[in-house]
Chain A
Amino acid sequence: MKATESSVVADTAGGQTAAERAVWRLLARVPDPEIPVLSIVDLGIVRYVRRAGDGALHVGITPTYSGCPATAAIRSATRAALDEAGFGAALLEEVLSPPWTSDWITPQGRAKLEAFGIAPPAPAAAPRDTAEPLRCPRCGSLSVARISEFGSTPCKAHYVCSACREPFDHFKCI
């Protein structure tokens, strides 16, 4: 958990050029195609934006799941956003290592998920018994039951609330 937090912070804070900051702001407006309340920055899939020694801007993005069908759409939306904003020379790179974890979803992203009706993931690295319990995103009840580990997209599981009886999606911890 500590390592992943620091790796996010290392790439987003301090010592950035104006162009790098502009690209971060730009990508913070590119929505995830399957959960459009989240941006790709909220999801933690933008790994770096940096001006390298060769003078070019390098943008690294990582897939969530190996087979996530949104990966190609995210790639082309990111490319289009860069091109339209005048960063046509920026190089878009696919980063596989370290593998994406739901821990990289930003606090802002987690709040957006819950407001949208999707229970955010517990920390993947934390032991199960110390993790914050799953609560219904509609009524806040902790009395919930899993219906299916697999849901409408690879990243979600299906739950139902025993208090308000509403079904809801849970963003899986990985």
Chain B
Amino acid sequence: MDFARRPSPYWSARVAVPSLMLQVLAALIPAAIAHVWFFGPGFIFNLLVASIFAVGGEWLMMVLRKRPPEVALTDYTALVTAALLAFAVPSLTPWWVTATGALFAIVVAKHLYGGLGFNIFNPAMAGYVVILIAFPMHLNLWIAPRMGDIDYQYLTVLQTLKYTLTGSLPDVLGFDAVSRATPLDVMKSGLNGMRTVSEIRANPIMGDFGGRGWEWIGNFLAIGGFWLLIKKIIRWHIPVGVGVGLMLPATIMYLVDPGSHPSPGFHLFSGATILCAFFIATDPVSAATSPKGRLVFGFGIGILIFCIRTWGSYADGVAFAVLIMNMAVPAIDLVTRPHIVGHDRKRTKPS
């Protein structure tokens, strides 16, 4: 395959959007299977709901904008948005919450800004932030991962489906019986309660680096991400930028005060770090353009994730970090414009 090394207006890659998006979806499959294994079949229902509403919203907007709807439906971009949203929400989520996120992502964040190629904000993250702010109770309900000695309360497929459709659990089960605080929540509330990191890490929900279950999903996401890197569907700049941006402050703080700052490995394997580095921040539309710009973009996201996790009121900050850096993309693109061959370096600066 022949790829343009540096995107130039006259030089384009011979790759169509549909096949790119299909490969991104394929790279998510291992992690999806791991998600279903650890957190039950809710993921599949969420994915179905998100896909139906994302594709439906896409079709509706194309009809309203008097564009050919088949094009939007066959390029699979809406499905990638739906898949990212399904990874972001807890496996127990009522359908209207997921549907709101998917519709907002497609209708407002994507099509009101001009459709594919024109959206400033990452649609999946915009949709996720909307439901995170609008339905905070529903989005904090993570069930315990299925792992050895954690008292895992098993929900059957039908019970999960019933919760997705109605938002209520069977009478015998309370929310407290099935839901657990996520590792990042446990860490945050523990640190706020003046406990040390090693005390908090004695909680059975913690695994080798991050949380049990979560770190395995992270591993499978990383496998999919490396496959995308090898296939040259994404480039290394953004994942490396996110990693360095998060690990650098995390390592410094950990070395200075290991009692009140979790290890860099915990940051890397918790929450949505790996999903963000390989799949969310690498959205080609809303990321920066030049290689240098992408490094800056990823680095900014990493720093912001660390800041929000450490000092913010939310346990994880991936969605906010990505949206904030999306806003900075025009400025990043302006100051990191590639040097034009044959021109004086000083002259290529914006006048």
To the question of whether A and B form a pair in one complex, the answer is no
- A residues with a Cβ closer than 8 A to B are none
